Amino acid sequence: MGRMYSHSKGKSHSVRPTFKSSPSWVIYSQDEVEALIVKMAKDEIPPSLIGVKLRDEYGIPLLKNFIGKSINEILKAHNLEKDIPEDLELLVKRARGIQLHLKKNTGDRKNVRSLELVEAKIHRLSKRYKKLGFMPPDWKYISKVAQLT
């Protein structure tokens, strides 16, 4: 799949394993892994880093195949999910950083365009999450582009 705002196609991609059962080297039970996920979430570790830690430190390659649920489903079952999904929260944080940069550097037109692109991604993603019910329907991102140009 190509990139959204560039002409590159990417160098490589990962391939999911064909087997659906848990690997033989995993020494943890499903309850232990779920307890690990809950413990990490209570320590304010985001879901993407929880997956990386489970893979690198505990040797659990694919959680969906091992437990049958995703990290977000486990967090939702234990009432530990955030009201805004992680990827959207990171996009909003990036937009805030670009806005702070543009307040100091008013002549930087290239980053005005990058702010527009990030905000477009925020609007598309929030619309999708509202439709799927992952976010409250009254959540709204307020754009600052008009004030900066």
Using one digit for the tens of pLDDT, what is the confidence trace for 72-120?
999 999 999 888 899 999 999 999 999 999 999 988 999 999 999 999 9
Matching residue, tokens 């848990």? 22
At residue 123, the pLDDT reads 93
Residue 46 banded pLDDT, cuts 50, 70, 90: very high
Nearest-angstrom CA–CA distance, 125 and 71: 20
At residue 34, the pLDDT reads 92
Nearest-angstrom CA–CA distance, 16 and 23: 13
Check: CB of residue 71 under 8 Å from CB of residue 50: yes
